[in-house]
Amino acid sequence: MTATPSTWDYDHYDPAEERLRESLCTLGNGYFATRGALPECAADDVHYPGTYVAGCYNRLTSGVAGREVENEDMVNLPNWLPLRFRPAGGDWLTPDTAEVLDHRQTVHLDTGVLERRTGFALGGERVLYVRQVRLVHMADPHLAALRTEFTAEGGPADLEVEAALDGGVTNSGVPRYRELDGHHLTHVHTGGADAADTVWLRCRTRTSDTRIGMAARTTADAPVTAAREHLCVTQRTVLRVEPGRTAVVDKVVALHTSRDPAISDPLQAAVDRVAEAPGFDDLLVTHRTAWGQLWRRAELEVPGEAGSILRLHLFHVLQTLSPHTADLDVGVPARGLHGEAYRGHVFWDELFVLPYLNLHFPEVSRALLHYRHRRLERARSAARAIGRRGALYPWQSGSDGREETQQLHLNPRSGRWLPDHSHLQHHVGSAIAYNVWQYCEASGDAEFLHTKGAEMLLQIARFWADSATWDEQVGRYRIRGVVGPDEYHEAYPGADRPGLDDNAYTNVTAAWVLSRTLEVLDGLPEPRRRELVERTALDDAELEQWDSVSRTLHVPFHEGVVSQFEGYGDLAELDWAGYRERYGDIRRLDRLLEAENDSVNNYQASKQADVLMLGYLFSPAELRALFGRLGYRLDEETWQRTVDHYLARTSHGSTLSGLVHGWILARARRAEAWAYFQEALKGDVADLQGGTTGEGIHLGAMAGTLDLVQRGLTGLESRAGALWLDPVPLPELSSYGFSVRYQGHWGVRFRLEHGRLEIAVPAAGPLPIDVRLPDREVRLQPGDTCRLVLPD
């Protein structure tokens, strides 16, 4: 593999790496995405050509370990890719069945195009060269196209070519899910349109009853004939390929579902759209233009290998969450639209994604927050179901906002299905509240803050206040029975019920939500505040309780460090060196211990940052103030002891772990910070989690690395009507630049270069920008550029 800022290139065929390449070569436009599988290859243990529409889910019940379990999945839709070829009368050619002379697959990041070149030996001196160019259209989100060029050397070749739309697909891309029912599509019908070169396929999901319509227009240098087969429709042609001449087959596809606005029938919409679509060359022009516009809005200049990987990360973020997302009712899928891991569910990963989007595509952030607001009533119902007031958002969300966390999960090492208690990660509500506040600070969207934002904040705060119970012995409020971001610890050793008490991250972020919500309510215009108070029956006594809880929540300590939860310091120490010697890779320590009939609940061991997540969300000054409001002193020495304690006890079993640790170390221990940043950068491209990237990228980690450069290393914050900067350039990354969109200013440019900071404000901006650094304040008028020398 070779990478540049504009290309990602694989130069040979390796079946063992194919799933990883398919994920990293996925093309999408925010509405749908298709994995980078070879069009001539069907789904098997090597290849998996999945296509996914954002927000298209289906719910099925499966028998597992003697129980009936229900799961909702993002649906693998009919496969539009198939295009296979063979010498007349011969076998179909694939890299698995024919002699491959050379093979190259290139993602062109600047233009959003996947190019493939393969040379097949045909016997004797004859060679068939195949070049394919694929796009999922960024300007028209319902179109995709595939151009295939055939060139012969050493003699002519008669080729049979078959293109298809295949409705016989299932969700089977994640091996550990294969005991679950993956047959989500039903009522598959096919046919031909009035135009002779166009065929169609329609179907629907089994329980959510989402109708899908797909149409394909295939043109070639010879006549094309259509045939209907079981669950698919094909188009065939025979080409005479002469040496020195290239034969071309173009396939243009349209995709609609019944979730789309402004259509009546998805099949008719797809047939009409493909009929009106221009040819491949014209589609490529408008597609490139749309990508050029995206790159200008997300300008990022970072040198070296880090810059190439960051460009790939940005490419996949934009394919999953593009401006088209602003028109959809969807959340942030943790694994992108790139595969079926996590079943396409929405977790807390938006906590790592929205801070980046806020400063480039605020309309997308707003839409993603609308997804949460539309499910506010479902969250309130979930709270009532456990006897609480307010809103309890689910740890895993899908179509309608109910809790989608699986009841059982499979440990591949032991082969056992185990109870899953991760739904107790109630801190997801604090992540949503944090995102509301961060979006409004960056965008200046007072209308959203005063309406939907305030409504979510109020109900999340109400849940936290009602979850807190007074403990006379401790003299503080406590929140019991939760699971923190660590995820390893779900219960106390030997306990007969899940849940932990006083998770520090949960309690501190709950206190932040309560205090921030009080501030927002206090700042509402009086008519709006009155409406909200009347609608929610909010009174002064409840507000006083919120204030009291926000000042007296319990935060446990042990041995001079912040405890992950009450009793954490009483757990046994793990023999880390022994486990590393025995297993090598211990990232999934929980699975290793369970396979030994032990439990990670017994040890001071974390999968990823838990307490230390507080240092990711809050600046040092803000974190000290939060602890101070709670009546605790968190000085630099205590925080550094806390960092050291958990660094030594974390297995980094998540792609988010390196990101968070790199962020919090950047200001104190830069050499260590760079090592963690490198791990975060390479989490997907090197598949550091051992095969997981082939099931879908890790979107939160990808966006988080972008935000680490944008906000983490610059200290960039948007608060109190100003941009705050406190740069900490790493020696390995001391020169870079980017632009942001800030409160009506499109393209505010920042450039850090060897201890100097340049800020340029576009001339078309509406108002001046106040910039605050630790040692000075600067007001920049539209059109101004300032250059500052940073202190050592």
Return d(Cα 675, Cα 664) in angstroms, integer: 13
CB atoms within 10 A of CB 21: 22
Return d(Cα 96, Cα 77) in angstroms, integer: 25
Catalytic residue among 18, 487, 490, 566: 487
Tokens 């490419």 belong to 315
Amino acid identity, position 598? D
E-state strands within 139-245: 143-153, 157-166, 185-192, 198-205, 211-220, 225-229, 232-241
3 state SS for 380-397: HHHHHHCCCCCCCCCCCE
Return d(Cα 371, Cα 393) in angstroms, integer: 12
Give the pairing of strands 769-773 and 722-724.
parallel
Query: Quick one: tokens of 461?
Result: 């705060």
Contact 707, 716 (CB under 8 A): no
Cβ burial 420-448 (10 Å sphere, 16+ → b, else e): bbebbbbbbbbbbbbbbbbbbbbbbbeeb
Q: Read out DSSP for 453-488?
A: IHHHHHHHHHHHHHH-EEETTTTEEE--SB--TT-S
> CB under 8 Å to 503, separation ≥6 — which residues?
427, 479, 482, 483, 484, 564, 565, 610
Based on the residue annotation, tell me whether 487 is a catalytic residue of this protein: yes
> CB-based burial of residue 740 (10 Å sphere; 0-12 exposed, 13-18 middle, 19+ buried)?
buried
**CA of 641: how far to CAs of 616, 657, 676, 711, 722, in Å?**
16, 18, 18, 25, 33
Return d(Cα 550, Cα 573) in angstroms, integer: 33
Identify the DSSP state of 451.
I
> CB-based burial of residue 96 (10 Å sphere; 0-12 exposed, 13-18 middle, 19+ buried)?
middle
Return d(Cα 698, Cα 691) in angstroms, integer: 12
Known catalytic residues are 487
